Structure 1
Amino acid sequence: NGGSSTDHLEYVSAGWYPAWKSTEFPPSKISWDMYDMVTFAFALTTEDPSKLDLAGEDKTLTAFATEAKSRGVKSLLSVGGWTGSMYFSTHMATQKGRDTFRKAITDMVTQYKLDGIDFDWEHPNQKGACNAFAPQDTANFLSFLKDLRADPAGKDLVLTAAASISPFFDANGVPSTNLAPFGEIFDYLAIMAYDIYGSWSPTTGPNAPLYSTCAGDKAVGSGESSVKAWTAAGFPIKKLLLGVAAYGRSWHVDTANAMTGNALSPYATFDATIKPLGEGETDSTVYGVDKCGEQEGPTGIWDFNGLIDAGWLMSDGEASQSHAKYLFDDCSKTPFLYNETSQTMVSYDNAESFAEKGKFIYDNKLGGFAVWHILGDSSDNILLDSIHK
């Protein structure tokens, strides 16, 4: 699959490597043979368009690129992320800013010998964490990308994007209807079809629903609806990657609200004042303030392998009946767990939901999948094996 960025694989297996976990999981521990393309997360935008911030992981990026090359896997660097998108809008607003920012990116590609760049701008002309945003963001983004493709340093790069379930917002603050020009420039665009429900939602619900047509007024969006939205906006389906989640989210749900009859309720009322601990968090965890000045607290987030380690799931990835009640929600095609002792409900993905997503990708002829994140799967790749089938 070597050569230029235009050599499309039939089906792309991609994922993001969370560099902040590098001490425990250096690049040498990545399951490289499961992927065609791995993206290093993140390089954060800074106030200065000529500088990107690797958050102290410079040496990790060097090792990552070297390791990828030796394994014949494409290495990309993701620019942005939830808290790293602060200055995209500002840099993109002028030709001078775009030129400076472009050089910062291509210099980094050269320095680290990378194969490409992933743009994870959260989000053009839309509020994310604490990003600047402006009406011309999407138009400016396109100008920037055209210049990047015209630049000898950017012409052959693999260029990808991570995007929300709604197409990039236009100047009126609504999803754009014509994104075909982006489809000509990007090799792939991964739709982040996860974080659909969380602690911010009115009820519990599927973190990464594949379908939402049967969810009635509870529908927020899904893998299926997002693919429809992006293709309706003119983005080629063969360049769309379905973003899939190797993690789950949890809520505190009173036993009285957790069940409807004998079955778990996917859309249960939860107690927002009690935030369940996430993986690696304890009652004595000290939380700081994030880049946006927001006080951090328990995340309630569990990687798939963390659910196994904590006993929610058995080593084969199946639910541990002694630990939790289990429901495979046939509407969203995703599983739920509920522990009555801790009164914790978890929405996550398992082999069955990944198999459904793999089938959806294959049946609809998408470009492939991108997993957030590649260290979330079990050591024997239960999720990846399932989606590959």
Structure 2
Amino acid sequence: MGYYPDWASASLSPEDINFSKYDWIDFAFGIPDASFGVVWDSNDSPTLLKRLVTAAHEKNVKVKLSIGGWTGSKHFSSAVASSENREIFAQKILDVHNKFQLDGIDIDWEYPGHDGAEGNRVNSSDSANFLLLLQHLRGILPTNARLTVAAQTAPFVDDSGQPMTDLSKFAEVLDWVLIMNYDVWTESPTPGSNAPMNNGCHNSSQPDANAVAAYEAWTGAGFPASKLVLGLPSYGYVSNSEASGLRSRSTKTLKFRRLRSLDDGSEEPGTTVKIIGEDGSSTVQFRELLRQGALVRTSATTYGAAGGFTRHWDTCTSTPWLRSESVKQIITYDDLESLYMKAEFAKRVGMLGVNMFDIHGDTDEWDLIQAVRRGLAVG
């Protein structure tokens, strides 16, 4: 599975996706508005979604619309706050589902019951009301439509703000939950892993923010492993830092949306390079690390550091990182090795699968998703 965001078309058209690598594609994003309808990030989004559905269906791949996202969650709380609002919102979602001949709906509310982006509405009853929306949607969507949710590593919170201990009613109506195990640590002078596999050193100040702990938390609250999907990033973060290693996360503060690519021009191979983030942020796609010269292919299945960077491995989180002493940068990211490990873990513990955010961060040869498929033992 993978996300195809509406800003990806400049570098990857729907028709150029290698659909043989995917079973499901999530189009990101539809946005709830103040009147509980579904609107778009750009005027081109509806046409792009139609093209994606056509291209995917020709290859027997299914498409869901993901509604929400980091900057698109402002109105969720209001949209689910009353029976009347939920009925309006659910009907609008159904209308979009049918209009675009979709195969399902993904709700990416960041986050029910507690803060996400600045300006989001929050209510202590959000999670309970969210369940009511999902139950209503399940009743009106076509029986073969998939209904899914993207969520944090910790389960939804209850009305006291604590992670729920019984998710069985959510499991009854959802086909799966995607655990967004990324953005755990963003840009910082003392950076940490973007997407920790585990708390291998047992010293994390937020021990629930990794793939292993997320699996344990969700299954421990009664959500079946067979309905869990592990989210994987095709991007990382650039930090201006002189640190000599990574540290564990101390606070849960997300500042950056998962962003679109920016074409800045290339560095000459063999030179010392300074990596430029995307759209003025600190995010950087894996393919950009190649294009800008921080990584270079060393074999059919490996990439090594270049451009004055050295590659390191953080044993506490089982993720790689790059360091340049000359330009004082650290890049926290995932590569073929760490993605393989995460996919292998998902298969070993009986999870449904994995989902990459996002597919246009991959290489032209589709190395990242191919490493994931090897980990899942499907390619």
The share of aligned pairs that are identical, in percent, is 33
Q: Does 1:88 align with 2:76?
A: yes
Distance 1:385-1:102 versus aligned 2 partners, 3 A rule: same
| 8 Å contact kept, 2:107–2:149 | yes
Q: Does 1:307 align with 2:294?
A: no
Q: Which residue of 1 aligns with 2:56?
A: 68
TM-score calculated relative to the size of structure 1: 0.85
- Write the letter of the residue equivalent to 1:19: D
Q: Which residue of 1 aligns with 2:333?
A: 348
Q: Which residue of 1 aligns with 2:324?
A: 339
| 8 Å contact kept, 2:181–2:195 | yes
Q: Which residue of 2 aligns with 1:240?
A: 228
> Residue deviations 1:150-186, cap 9 Å, x none?
22x3433111111011111111111111111111111
Equivalent residue for 2:130, pick from 120, 138, 141: 141
Q: Which residue of 1 aligns with 2:121?
A: 132
Q: Which residue of 2 aligns with 1:55?
A: 42
Distance 1:281-1:29 versus aligned 2 partners, 3 A rule: closer
Structure 2 matches for 1:157-176, cutoff 5 A?
157-176=145-164
The alpha-carbon deviation at position 222 of structure 1 amounts to 0.4
Alignment partners' CA distance in 1, 2:327 and 2:189: 21
Distance 1:213-1:60 versus aligned 2 partners, 3 A rule: same
The alpha-carbon deviation at position 359 of structure 1 amounts to 1.4
Query: SS of the counterpart of 1:141?
Result: helix
Alignment partners' CA distance in 1, 2:31 and 2:148: 16
Q: Which residue of 1 aligns with 2:252?
A: none
Distance 1:178-1:93 versus aligned 2 partners, 3 A rule: same
Q: Which residue of 1 aligns with 2:358?
A: 373
- Write the letter of the residue equivalent to 2:135: K
- Write the letter of the residue equivalent to 2:130: F
Alignment partners' CA distance in 2, 1:246 and 1:118: 20
TM-score calculated relative to the size of structure 2: 0.87
> Residue deviations 1:117-162, cap 9 Å, x none?
00000000110003211011111111111111122x3433111111
The alpha-carbon deviation at position 320 of structure 1 amounts to 2.5
The alignment covers a number of residue pairs equal to 347
Alignment partners' CA distance in 2, 1:379 and 1:248: 18
Q: Which residue of 2 aligns with 1:292?
A: none
Alignment partners' CA distance in 1, 2:151 and 2:345: 19
| 8 Å contact kept, 1:43–1:55 | no
Distance 1:87-1:226 versus aligned 2 partners, 3 A rule: same
The alpha-carbon deviation at position 202 of structure 1 amounts to 7.7
- Write the letter of the residue equivalent to 1:141: F
Alignment partners' CA distance in 1, 2:114 and 2:263: 31
Equivalent residue for 2:247, pick from 264, 267, 278: 267
Alignment partners' CA distance in 1, 2:20 and 2:52: 14
| 8 Å contact kept, 2:203–2:248 | no
Equivalent residue for 2:85, pick from 78, 87, 97: 97
Distance 1:323-1:218 versus aligned 2 partners, 3 A rule: farther
Alignment partners' CA distance in 2, 1:55 and 1:215: 44
Alignment partners' CA distance in 1, 2:110 and 2:28: 14
> Residue deviations 1:172-204, cap 9 Å, x none?
1111111111111111111000100013x6831
Query: SS of the counterpart of 1:162?
Result: strand
> Residue deviations 1:280-330, cap 9 Å, x none?
3769xxxxxxxxxxxx97311111111111111113551234521111112
- Write the letter of the residue equivalent to 1:52: V
Alignment partners' CA distance in 2, 1:181 and 1:197: 31
Q: Which residue of 2 aligns with 1:216?
A: 203
The alpha-carbon deviation at position 380 of structure 1 amounts to 0.9
Structure 2 matches for 1:186-197, cutoff 5 A?
186-197=174-185
Q: Which residue of 1 aligns with 2:27?
A: 40
Query: SS of the counterpart of 1:328?
Result: strand
Alignment partners' CA distance in 2, 1:344 and 1:58: 39
Q: Which residue of 2 aligns with 1:286?
A: none
Equivalent residue for 2:192, pick from 196, 199, 205: 205
Q: Structure 2: 5+ residue runs without aligned partners?
A: 250-255, 266-277, 375-379
Equivalent residue for 1:150, pick from 96, 116, 139: 139
| 8 Å contact kept, 2:155–2:217 | yes
Alignment partners' CA distance in 2, 1:268 and 1:131: 27
Structure 2 matches for 1:275-286, cutoff 5 A?
280=262
Q: Which residue of 2 aligns with 1:9?
A: none
Distance 1:49-1:388 versus aligned 2 partners, 3 A rule: same
Over aligned residue pairs, what C-alpha RMSD do you find?
A: 2.2
| 8 Å contact kept, 2:226–2:351 | yes
| 8 Å contact kept, 2:56–2:62 | yes
Distance 1:370-1:191 versus aligned 2 partners, 3 A rule: same
